């Protein structure tokens, strides 16, 4: 008795791919242009013909392109011009537009957060400078620690310099 063998899985997959390839090769190209150049040669491409090729020499256009017939000598109406302009706009994937809008929103929110942070720093600097001016104008003896870690008391000249610096900070930060 002879055993019957099942067809090879690899052979079945290979034949499926072969059939798919033949089917695709038999289908016409989706968007093809066909035109004749000035020498009378016929060209077929998925790109439109060069601008110097007259409209009468274009033999075939893609099916989704609007064919412009220049049969009438009068100007087209405004509604036809607006329809042609609407067709000329590139079609955009809504998912890409949504991603772009989301990125733009994130960029704006990050910029707003940065602006808020800077505004808070300015308000803090303004507050500290005003407190320093109030302390300097109070007439109390003020001391500060120098680079060596020693305490030194502010004299009138140093007090005036510190007052000038504090007023500059108030002018720049307290708007």
95 in any annotated domain: no
86 in any annotated domain: no
User: What is the pLDDT averaged over residues 165-173?
Assistant: 91
133 in any annotated domain: yes
161 in any annotated domain: yes
Range of the domain at 162: 122-175
Percentage of the chain modeled with pLDDT above 70: 67
Task: Tell me how far apart the alpha carbons of residues 89 and 85 are, in angstroms, rounded to a whole number.
Answer: 7
169 in any annotated domain: yes
User: Into how many domains does the chain fold?
Assistant: 2
At which residue do the structure tokens 């104008």 appear? 137
Residue 29's pLDDT is: 52
108 in any annotated domain: no
Residue 16 Cα distances to 13, 27, 28, 66, angstroms: 5, 17, 20, 38
> Which residues neighbour 146 within 8 Å (Cβ) at sequence distance 6 or greater?
152
97 in any annotated domain: no
Q: How many residues does the chain have?
A: 175
Strand, coil or helix: what is 18? helix
Instruction: Indicate the pLDDT class of residue 74, thresholds 50, 70 and 90.
Output: very low
Q: Is the distance from CB of 129 to CB of 171 less than 8 angstroms? A: no
Instruction: Indicate the pLDDT class of residue 165, thresholds 50, 70 and 90.
Output: very high
132 in any annotated domain: yes
Q: Which among 171, 172, 174, 170 is positioned nearest to 129, based on CA atoms?
A: 170
Q: Which range, 4-8, 30-34, 73-77, has the best average confidence (pLDDT)?
A: 30-34
Task: Tell me how far apart the alpha carbons of residues 142 and 39 are, in angstroms, rounded to a whole number.
Answer: 96
The residue out of 21, 44, 60 marking a domain boundary is: 60
pLDDT in tens, 120-164: 999 999 999 999 999 888 888 888 899 999 999 888 898 999 999
The residue out of 44, 60, 76 marking a domain boundary is: 60
């Amino acid at each position: 008795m002879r055993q019957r063998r099942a067809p090879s899985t690899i052979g079945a997959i290979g034949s499926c791919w072969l059939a798919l390839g033949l089917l695709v090769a038999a289908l016409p190209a989706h968007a093809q242009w066909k035109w004749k150049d000035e020498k009378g040669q016929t060209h077929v491409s998925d790109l439109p013909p060069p601008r110097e090729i007259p409209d009468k020499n274009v033999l075939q256009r893609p099916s989704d392109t609007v064919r412009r017939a220049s049969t009438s000598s009068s100007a087209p109406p405004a509604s036809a011009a607006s329809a042609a302009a609407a067709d000329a706009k590139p079609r955009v994937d809504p998912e890409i537009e949504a991603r772009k809008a989301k990125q733009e929103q994130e960029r704006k929110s990050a910029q707003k957060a940065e602006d808020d942070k800077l505004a808070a720093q300015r308000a803090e600097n303004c507050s500290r400078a005003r407190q320093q001016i109030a302390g300097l104008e109070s007439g109390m003896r003020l001391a500060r620690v120098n680079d060596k870690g020693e305490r030194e008391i502010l004299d009138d000249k140093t007090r005036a310099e510190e007052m000038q610096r504090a007023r500059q900070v108030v002018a720049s930060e307290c708007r």
